[in-house]
C-alpha cells in the first residue's frame, strides 16, 4: 500500500514539536500510532519502518524527541551522531519528556479521524513509549528493546519508570534481542520481574534469539532482516487485536 506524509508542528510546552505524519493512501484504520524513534531522531531508517506500519493501515506520527536542543536535526549513525543524541538525552528531564508526550497525545486525541491511540518505540524511544502508556488514552504499546527500564536511565534524572508500571492500563508488547548488551539477560529479568510485581502479568514478551541491540534498524551490521520482519509482523498483529 502506498503512503503519504507531511511534516507538522505540534504546540509543545516549550515551543513547537516538529513531527512527521505518515498514513496510507486510501482507506485506513481510525487508529493512530505515536512512534518514538531511537536517539537519532527522524532518520530515513526510522521513516522506512514507519512507512511499513502506515502501509498496514495506521496513521503514524513521529515526533522529534529533542525539540528543545535538536529541532529539525536527523542525526547520522556515527560516533558524532551518537554523542549528540546521548548528550541531548542527558539534558532532557523526565518532566520534559512527559510534557512533550502529553502534547503529542493531545494532538492525536483531538483529531476527529482517530478513535484509538497506540504507541510504539525503539531503544530510548521504547522507554518513552513505556512512559506514554501511563496515560489512560493509550490503548496498546509496543516497546522494542527499551533501554533504561531496569536501571532508571533515560535522561537528566532517574524516571522511576519501572516502579510506576502499575499505572499502565493498556495492553503491552515488549520485544528484546537475546544478544543486546544494553539490555542483557539480567536486565531483562529485572524488567520483567518489576512488571509482574506491578501487576502487569498479561503483557506479551518476545525475545529473539541472536538479536542485537537495534536489530530492527535497517542500516548497519546489527540489522537482522528476518527478525525485523518477525518483529513488525508480531507488532502489527498485536496492535490490530489479532
| Pairing status of strand 116-122 against strand 59-63 | unpaired
Q: What does the block give as the cell for 59?
A: 496513521
Q: For residue 227, which of 215, 214, 237 has the smallest C-alpha distance? A: 215
CA-to-CA distance for 130 and 160, rounded, in angstroms?
A: 12
pLDDT in single tens digits along all 242 residues of the chain:
899 999 999 999 999 999 999 999 988 899 999 999 999 999 999 999 999 999 999 999 999 999 999 999 999 999 999 999 999 999 999 999 999 999 999 999 999 999 999 999 999 999 999 999 999 999 999 999 999 999 999 999 999 999 999 999 999 999 999 999 999 999 999 999 999 999 998 999 999 999 999 999 999 999 999 999 999 999 999 999 87
CA-to-CA distance for 69 and 102, rounded, in angstroms?
A: 19
Q: What does the block give as the cell for 23?
A: 498514513
E strand or H helix that includes residue 239: helix 225-239
- β partners of residue 175: 144, 206
* Count of positions (residues) in the chain: 242
> Whole domain around residue 132: which residue ranges?
3-239
CA-to-CA distance for 187 and 191, rounded, in angstroms?
A: 6
State the total domains in the chain. 1
pTM: 0.97
CATH at 168 = 3.40.50.1820
Where would I find the H helices in 78-184?
A: 79-90, 94-110, 124-132
Distances (CA, A) of 103 to 39, 79, 158, 194: 19, 31, 22, 28
Amino acid at each position: 500500500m502506498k503512503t503519504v506524509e507531511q511534516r507538522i508542528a505540534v504546540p509543545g510546552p516549550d515551543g513547537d514539536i516538529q513531527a512527521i505524519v505518515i498514513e496510507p493512501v486510501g482507506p485506513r484504520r481510525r487508529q493512530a500510532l505515536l512512534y518514538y524513534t531511537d536517539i537519532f531522531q527522524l532518520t530515513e531508517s526510522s521513516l522506512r519502518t514507519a512507512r511499513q506500519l502506515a502501509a498496514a493501515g495506521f496513521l503514524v506520527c513521529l515526533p522529534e524527541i529533542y525539540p528543545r536542543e535538536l529541532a529539525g536535526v536527523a542525526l547520522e549513525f556515527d560516533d558524532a551522531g551518537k554523542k549528540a543524541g546521548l548528550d541531548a538525552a542527558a539534558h532532557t528531564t523526565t518532566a520534559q519528556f512527559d510534557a512533550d508526550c502529553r502534547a503529542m497525545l493531545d494532538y492525536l486525541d483531538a483529531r476527529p479521524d482517530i478513535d484509538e491511540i497506540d504507541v510504539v518505540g525503539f531503544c530510548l524511544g521504547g522507554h518513552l513509549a513505556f512512559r506514554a502508556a501511563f496515560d489512560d488514552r493509550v490503548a496498546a504499546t509496543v516497546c522494542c528493546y527499551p533501554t533504561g527500564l531496569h536501571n532508571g536511565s533515560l535522561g537528566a534524572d532517574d524516571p522511576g519508570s519501572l516502579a510506576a508500571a502499575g499505572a499502565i492500563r493498556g495492553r503491552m508488547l515488549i520485544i528484546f534481542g537475546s544478544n543486546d548488551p544494553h539490555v542483557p539477560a539480567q536486565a531483562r529479568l529485572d524488567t520483567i520481574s518489576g512488571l509482574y510485581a506491578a501487576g502487569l502479568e498479561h503483557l506479551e514478551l518476545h525475545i529473539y534469539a541472536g538479536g542485537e541491540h537495534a536489530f530492527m534498524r535497517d542500516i548497519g551490521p546489527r540489522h537482522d532482516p528476518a527478525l525485523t520482519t518477525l518483529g513488525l509482523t508480531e507488532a502489527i498483529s498485536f496492535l490490530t487485536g489479532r
